[in-house]
């Protein structure tokens, strides 16, 4: 199956700093990538949909200036958490979708990035 990687897998930062998380599709071209966050013992909440070469579409309640998303190529999307605060500590998961050869229009998930803001 298709492989999606995320980097870093775990990051600890000080409050007020910015953190960038990368999501890469390794063996396919992803026209669309999705970013989710997951708090402990909770479900995945969609933050935004990222299409290559265009601005991301954010879900209601997600601050676009706080969570900057860039999808500069067909294999890479980045999520930057700006001026991070302890309440931004969470598990961030990306997924990627390819329109070709994808019978179920399935998304392929990355392994996640655990962000801890001190």
By the criterion CB under 8 A, which residues form the site for other proteins? 1, 32, 34, 38, 42-46, 49, 57, 91, 93, 95, 97, 104-107, 109, 111-112, 114
Are the CB atoms for 21 and 78 separated by under 8 Å? yes
Q: Minimum CB separation from other proteins for residue 112, in Å? A: 5
d(CA 76, CA 85): 25
Are the CB atoms for 79 and 23 separated by under 8 Å? yes
Nearer to other proteins, 77 or 107 (CB): 107
Q: Minimum CB separation from other proteins for residue 68, in Å? A: 19
Check the CA dihedral 8-99-38-46 and report its sign. Answer: positive
d(CA 48, CA 94): 10
Nearer to other proteins, 1 or 86 (CB): 1
Nearer to other proteins, 44 or 62 (CB): 44
d(CA 5, CA 112): 8
Nearer to other proteins, 9 or 83 (CB): 9
Q: Minimum CB separation from other proteins for residue 84, in Å? A: 19
């Amino acid at each position: 199956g298709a492989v999606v990687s995320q980097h870093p897998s775990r990051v600890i930062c000080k409050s007020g700093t910015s953190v960038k998380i990368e999501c890469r599709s390794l063996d396919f071209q992803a026209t669309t990538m999705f970013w989710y966050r997951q708090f402990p013992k909770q479900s995945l909440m969609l933050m935004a949909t990222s299409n290559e070469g265009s601005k991301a579409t954010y879900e209601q309640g997600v601050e676009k200036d706080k969570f900057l998303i860039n999808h500069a190529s067909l294999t890479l999307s980045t999520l930057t958490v700006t001026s991070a605060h302890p309440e931004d500590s969470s598990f961030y998961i990306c997924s990627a979708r390819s329109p070709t050869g994808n019978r179920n229009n399935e998304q392929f998930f990355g392994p996640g990035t655990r962000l801890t803001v001190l």
